[in-house]
Structure 1
Amino acid sequence: MHPSLQLSNLSKLPQRLRRQATQALRDLDTFDAFIAPLFFHELNPSRIPVFSGNDLPNLETLYVHLHRMVTAFEGLVVLAQLEALHAGAIEDICRHLWPNFRYIDEFYDLLPDGDEDDPWTSAVAVLANLSTAYSDQVLPVLKQLEPWFSGFCARAWTAVLEARSLRGMFMVSILALPRGRDDGTRDILVDQSTFQAAAGGPEALARLLVQHLNLILPQGPRNITEDLFGHLAGVQYILLANHKDIFPGPLIRAGYLVQASTLLRSLALTPIEDTEHKRDAERLVQLLTTDIIRGMTSAADSAVFVDALRAGAIHAMFTQLGSLRLRQADNIPTMIGLITASWTIQASVLRVLPAALDEIEDLNPQTHLPEAIHDIWASFVDVATSRAALVRSPQLQPVRACDNSECSHILPRSDFRRCGGCLARYYCSKSCQRRHYFDGQHKECCSTLAKQRMDTWARHSYLDRNFLRAILDYEYKTRKFEIGIKVLGLWLRTRRFVVPVVEFDMRTRCSYEPKVFGLEEYGADELPGDLTARNRGQIHILSFSYGEKLEELCLPLRSEHDGFMRGLREIIVRAKKTGRLNLRFIRRKVERLAAMQVLETH
């Protein structure tokens, strides 16, 4: 028996564990006596001597003995977890075990092809357990064997990828996790609860695997070698390219993309000097955004898309906007364009955007954004966040982006100043407005927009504008969130029907021309309880701006009954005849009408 394995307290263990520990140590001695000498013969099968009697006759027997060696290591892990080993012997045991794993690494090419339960993968699992249980003692040995350890992990990744072994990927990822800080304090990132969580099935393994990769890759060459860092980036690329084969089922793919979206953000903050490694990072960005785009357009992968957004893919996407490699990725503008153009996709964004907005509001990239990407970005923030106001709390203020293409600030709408000439551009500061005007980007279109605004404004009378303002002010304060959340929320939850959403936009065109985002006919049997087949409801969302104030109006329109809208039309006709159409008169009439006629959406 190896001198470092003499245990003085085996008698304190229960009989079953004592028998298991004794057998484990005996098997380890068998490995030392019969198997280890074979690795001094240049690992050529033709040069391995053939033993007789009790010796090893062939490779199959050697394969069996490797199984026994793994069992021995597992017994040592059990002893370590039961604290049956005194602290002084741990380092000696680790020094004794590490060369044996080097033998396994070199001998792996001679073993027959196996599945995820082959002894090599099991040995990796045992090593991960042992190194996790006693990281302080294993870490010095790990530093001494750093060149071999990096190659061991690299070969391990290749092997488990070829075998499509989730368990093997998970265990090898544990080996590469950083386990120490510069100040020498313990920083165990994996404990027994991690292994218990990994037993939950393929979905749990997939999530844990990518969590480990997210911990490894952002560290870069500071904790692992440059070659291993580049190899892990390539592994992440392989996983993304083949995740539908490796992780079958939409839920598992969703769990993978949830964690991979955080990796996208980490790559933007990781300094990568090597050209090949940069190329791997660019391919990661391309693959992740491609998967999200597929989720937008495919009903089968809708869960993947929504979960990826919940995990902060939008935030990661905007973080990438300031990076150099994103400017070469055409998928990002495509993805933002899809979100902006399609109301169906905007509805999906509405469900998850409130959580992501908290991160987007604090975003402030250091680099300037390209003009084309900035326009798409600003359009997305301006359109999607205003829709999100219907499902967010009234206390949360919508945000928008500065219209200066060289500025990327996202602030609450009330913090922006509007151009006094065209009333169509918003800036976070006077300096941004001045730069955007005098550098030629806004100077030419400012006068054109102002002329169009005045021509359009002249087509509507002052009384009509006051009437809409009165309705808007009253409805915004009393009925906005009740009506908007009830009707729009019902559609977002069921997705069984779509009502026409019409925008009256006064910010750029100053007109009342509707813009229909989506319209889908629904059957009478699919109508909600407060609607009838004869009386189909509509929701008109009015975005109305006067001065620095931006409001939204949600009105249920009924065309076939005597209700609220008919009463409003009568007020208009009566006011025009009497000439008393002013703000105070309209507000008083509307309040009286609302008191007598309750909205039928309730």
Structure 2
Amino acid sequence: MHPLLALENLEKLPPSHRVLAQAALSGSEEDIDALKESIDSLPKTDIVHTLPVVYALLGDSVHNEKDALQRFPVVQAALDLFLFVSVSGRGIVPSGVIPDLWPRLWSCFECIHEHLPESSAELKLELADMLIYAAALMLRDGKIEASVVLSTPGFYKVVGAAWATSFSPDPDATVAPHHAKLLQIVVTGAASSEQAFNDFVAGAGGSQDSLAALILQRMADHLPAPQAALDEEHIVGLGSLLGFFEMEGRPLRAPLVKSGSVDRIVSTCAVLLRNFLPTSSNPLRHMSEASFRHVILAYLNALWEHLIYPRYQERIVEALQAGLLPMLLTYAEAYDPSGPDKAISGRLMQILRILPPSTVYLSVLVQLGPSLIDAGSLHSGAHADFAEEWKTLVEIVEKRIVVVQEFETGKLPKYRACDNLQCGALRELGKIQRCSGCLSANYCNAECQSADYTSGQHRKHCKQLRVAHDSLVADISPSDLEFLRALVNHTYSDSATLGAIALNTAMGLEYTTFDFTRGACAVNNAPLRALANDTELIDQLKLELVRRTAGGIKESSGRARLDMHLVAIRGRTIFAPGPGAEARAVAVRWIAMPLRSSNTAFREESRRIAEDVYPRAANRETVKSEWILEQLEAVDVIQTH
């Protein structure tokens, strides 16, 4: 036992306080309260000498329900005394007493908690809340105390249960920081131990889904009423939850998303930014309220992470529905890539730049259109860099909404090619059927399907095609994938694109790339060796090519009826925690999307223009943009992706 916990230390108290301390040892609530009320009149250096009373009062055993009910008020009073001593002493309680005081406190809590009847549920919660407050005070000093407290079997479960029911930051400014710090320490500990994490989850509701829902509820609890100002209490409360979003390996990401975390994070960021931004009465507000920076940036980081992982397009839709665009617009004037808040500005710019590449998805465009209208116009005082990015987004959306309209009316893509190589006909969508096994191959009718299955390549590749299909739709919904095909078809048919592709493919560069990773599409012709390191793409290409050959027979009208177009979109984000920082790299996802032609006329006309007409043209740009397109459009050929 630590010397400061010995009863002999009561002799060091002034006589009047010594009498009160000795009387409190009887366990009388009245006497304990009297000692507590006298502490304010004690010299600061003497406050520690009341700790032996706390230690002694926690020592009696509890064996049954009667003992528990009798001991509860005494233990409650003893805990109250300890809390008062700790707060009044302003850190005077030596950390050395904790290895002795905490085990006794925990043992007393366990015994009473075990023997209290079910009808005393409120008493159990009250006792647990006081225990956790005591733990928060004990953990304020260092690693040794944390080790003593956090290594206690069952501690994480108790904290989880108490936090789920009654534990939340207290309006009292002396209490809130301790509660918040305890939660941060506990979450950090749970993140480093699977058992601790499971215990915390069990206490907080029993499942990761219930914990995720609780976290989001607590976020709402820590926000002020609409239009009310944010104060330190709100910041402390929101800050205490950050550990759940930053746990190594992000074990709660999926449950949080399932529970609606994107909506809650966007609304939280909007409130934080609204209270953080400079105002006419306080133009330096972002400088004076620097304590907000960490919390604001951390929640923006959490939003960013939600928007960069597989099926990120679904999270973007949720963010748009939650008010992402108005949130971004509120910061347009304050945006400053070189100012004191450059980290916040930088993260907001990254979030804005995610949007243009996401317009390859129908689901995003359908939401982006009305969201841009609702968000309103960009203020004239917006930072030039921000205004440029916003303008880029608006222009891309306006162009692609036209594609959406054509897609929804059935104009894009209008045709599909039969995968029976002995046929190869291009038919309208309603007049062609898809293999139910692979969901990839298309046929005019059952006869074409049977022919390809028996004498073609489909028997061999049906399962491979299904695996490839399932891999793709795991990240992209079927409707979004169909729209992407329509978008590529529309982009290919654009006059400038069509002319450039026709001329270049005539030169022998068969692999045309459609790169949407930056928003606007960049179309280029490239030899396969430029993409040879992408093994997933090479596997796609091999499968696409081999499935269209059978015993040396190629498509009935020759190889020129198939041109390989490669589509690049933002892919899976590679995430790897690094020392002191997080390293992320956005991967490009390539999708092989062959262009099928009804005959070879387009290829032949392209070659004629490239080899004969174009080199002799006086004004090549004029020829390229007007005459070439006119010649190509006159070709009697149907093409589709």
Q: Which TM-score applies when normalising by structure 1? A: 0.47
Q: Which TM-score applies when normalising by structure 2? A: 0.45
Which of 1 and 2 has higher RCO (CA within 8 Å, sep 6+)? Answer: 2
